[in-house]
């Protein structure tokens, strides 16, 4: 939880099934006032391009939606095609908004 209590922070280490090696992480920040959830992910360079980010982000997003999340947001560098594909596979779409030189992507509950 954030020091001021306004956000809950959820963090998961992404590990290989074969031997448990930590290869990255996914995280979600839940804002209590807005009910928005900001998601992010990092996968080590050695394991990029192998589907690990898509699998981990997909699992996280599925769990967040099942828990009642109404809006998910991610910020993706415009020049990072792999992260754009991960966001797209997770059901997020670009909003056209740029925040700190990153494109905002979102999913809203129907």
Domain extent, residue 77, equals 7-108
In a domain, 28, yes or no: yes
Quote the longest CA-to-CA distance of the chain: 40
How many alpha carbons lie under 13 Å from residue 64 in its C-beta half-sphere?
33
Q: What is the mean pLDDT of residues 93-105?
A: 96
Q: What is the mean pLDDT of residues 70-81?
A: 94
In which residue are the tokens 């996280």 written? 60
- pLDDT attached to residue 19: 97
pTM of the model: 0.91
The CATH number of the domain holding residue 28 is: 3.40.630.30
In a domain, 1, yes or no: no
Q: How many domains does the chain have?
A: 1
d(CA 53, CA 25) in angstroms, rounded, equals 9
In a domain, 81, yes or no: yes
Q: Contact at 8 Å (CB) between 12 and 25? A: yes
């Amino acid at each position: 939880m954030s020091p001021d209590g306004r956000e809950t922070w959820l963090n998961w280490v992404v590990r290989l099934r074969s031997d448990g090696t930590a290869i990255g992480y996914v995280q979600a920040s839940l804002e209590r006032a807005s009910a928005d959830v900001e998601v992010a992910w990092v996968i080590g360079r050695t394991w990029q391009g192998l589907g690990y980010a898509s699998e981990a982000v997909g699992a996280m997003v599925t769990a967040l939606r099942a828990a009642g999340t109404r809006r998910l947001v991610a910020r993706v560098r415009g020049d990072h095609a792999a992260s754009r594909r991960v966001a797209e596979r997770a059901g997020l779409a670009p909003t056209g908004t740029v925040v700190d030189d990153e494109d905002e992507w979102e999913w809203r509950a129907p």
